């Protein structure tokens, strides 16, 4: 972290925070399952999603689109797919394959501005690509940016580590899932646990 640290994530309440989930593709995760590879990052992302839904935090599902005249998003992994019960605070955004930062989309930045979002919590696949690019872009735009490293994945683990090092050296925060969950729920993790047990989320 640089000497002149930016405001901490807890500077802003959950109501001014957005959870950005990037490129959790069904095809990638199912292949990891088939190969019996480590995909614990999915469990961590699910925890973030549950916490955000519990407190009605804005959630942006950001995905690449298939090429063609009528682009449609690449399928998102089922356990991380949007909750149709609450589409106003949980939205899907697509971008062309050659665009790394999800914040290059005017629709995304306009939505964040409309919602009064000042703090971003980011997680996704492609740590060295879309995750890193979005995190650095978020800092440029004046957001407080946190990346949940344990909820991120890259096909090249050394690239993942290098990207997280760059994130830590920039004006961003590498936060744990526990910290993010506690922050998103306002410390009400007992209530979150109850809601999960009752299948409310």
The per-residue pLDDT for range 128-145, each reduced to its tens digit, is 999 999 999 999 999 999
The per-residue pLDDT for range 7-65, each reduced to its tens digit, is 787 889 999 999 999 999 998 899 888 876 778 999 999 999 999 999 999 999 999 88
Indicate the range of 5-9, 60-64, 111-115, 144-148 predicted with least confidence.
Answer: 5-9
Eight-state DSSP code of residue 4:
S
**What residue spans of the chain are helical by DSSP H?**
26-34, 40-54, 106-114, 132-140, 157-169, 177-184, 189-197
* pLDDT confidence of residue 11: 86
Among 134, 152, 148, 145, which Cα is nearest to 171's? 145
Distance CA 125, CA 197 (A): 28
Q: Residue 19 has which token pair?
A: 């959870």
The per-residue pLDDT for range 173-200, each reduced to its tens digit, is 999 999 999 999 887 766 666 566 556 6
Could you tell me if 166 and 139 are in contact, meaning their C-beta atoms sit under 8 angstroms apart?
Answer: no
* pLDDT confidence of residue 69: 46
* pLDDT confidence of residue 6: 63
Eight-state DSSP code of residue 67:
S
């Amino acid at each position: 972290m640089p000497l002149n640290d930016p405001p901490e994530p807890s500077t802003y309440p959950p109501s001014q925070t957005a959870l950005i989930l990037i490129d959790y593709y069904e095809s990638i995760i199912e292949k990891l399952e088939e190969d019996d590879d480590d995909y614990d990052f999915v469990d961590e992302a699910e925890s973030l999603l549950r916490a955000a839904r519990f407190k009605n935090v804005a959630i942006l599902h950001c995905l690449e689109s298939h090429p063609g005249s009528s682009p449609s998003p690449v399928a998102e992994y089922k356990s991380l797919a949007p909750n149709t019960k609450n589409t106003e605070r949980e939205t899907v955004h697509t971008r062309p394959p050659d665009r790394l930062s999800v914040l290059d989309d005017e629709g995304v930045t306009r939505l964040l501005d409309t919602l009064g979002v000042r703090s971003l919590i980011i997680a996704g696949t492609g740590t060295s690509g879309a995750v890193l690019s979005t995190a650095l872009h978020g800092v440029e735009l004046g957001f407080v940016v946190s990346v949940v490293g344990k909820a991120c994945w890259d096909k090249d683990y050394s690239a993942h580590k290098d990207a997280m090092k760059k994130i830590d050296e920039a004006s961003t925060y590498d936060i744990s899932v526990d910290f993010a969950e506690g922050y998103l729920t306002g410390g009400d993790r007992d209530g979150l646990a109850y809601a999960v047990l009752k299948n409310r989320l």
